[in-house]
Amino acid sequence: MVTLIIHKIIEEREKKRKLEKLNMILGVFFSEAGTSLLAYISVLDENPELMKKELAIKQDWSDKTFKKVSKKIESFSYAVNINDIDMKDFETFLHSKRDLLIKLIGNPALLEHDTFTELLRAVFHLDDEFATRDLDTMTSQDRNHIATDIKRAYKLLVLEWLGYMKYLKNRHPYYFLFAVKTSPFNAA
């Protein structure tokens, strides 16, 4: 019986340690690429006021508030307008983050975080789409395909960002305050 209890305690401690490492990886992603990517894509959002309203995170948000907003955001119908985007600038930005993304996806801690892995996969795919197209002569079908890929990445990015914000609030309030201040959804 004592062995089982000790084993359970060790398992819980190991699980917490892995979760902390994973959140450190998320922190690197958001500080080096994710927040900027959110800023790029949120400008393309066809309904930015709705996103700003829902994602205007406040210091007093509870876990319950984060959960409620996450459910709401997950059910959104994401729409982006890529007509005014500087495709070459966006491609350059994505490509400049490729080495970081490769390093992140190679981290074994991600094996236990399917949603972040899926986000990285969506961003890689978007970078590949930009890299394989002549951005000056894209057809409307190409543009629609890119818009669909951006929407997929946007949704995954917003959901992962919201979860990370919750983590910061609970574990690192000083980082949380900075993240709220620099949020692309900040109405200020």
Q: What is the pLDDT of residues 127-176, one digit of tens each?
A: 999 989 888 888 999 999 999 999 999 999 999 999 999 999 999 999 99
Higher pLDDT residue, 85 or 155?
Answer: 155
| Average pLDDT, integer, range 65-93 | 91
Q: What is the pLDDT of residue 30?
A: 94
Is the per-residue pLDDT at 188 higher than 60? no
User: How does pLDDT run across 111-126, given as a tens digit for each residue?
Assistant: 767 889 999 999 999 9
Quickly count: other Cβ atoms within 10 Å of residue 141's Cβ. 8
Token pair for residue 48? 């930015």
Q: Give strand pairing partners of 45.
A: 80
Question: How does the average pLDDT of the chain come out, rounded?
Answer: 90
Token pair for residue 139? 């057809």
Give the residue among 34, 20, 176, 22 at the shortest CA–CA distance from 114: 22
pTM for this predicted structure: 0.88
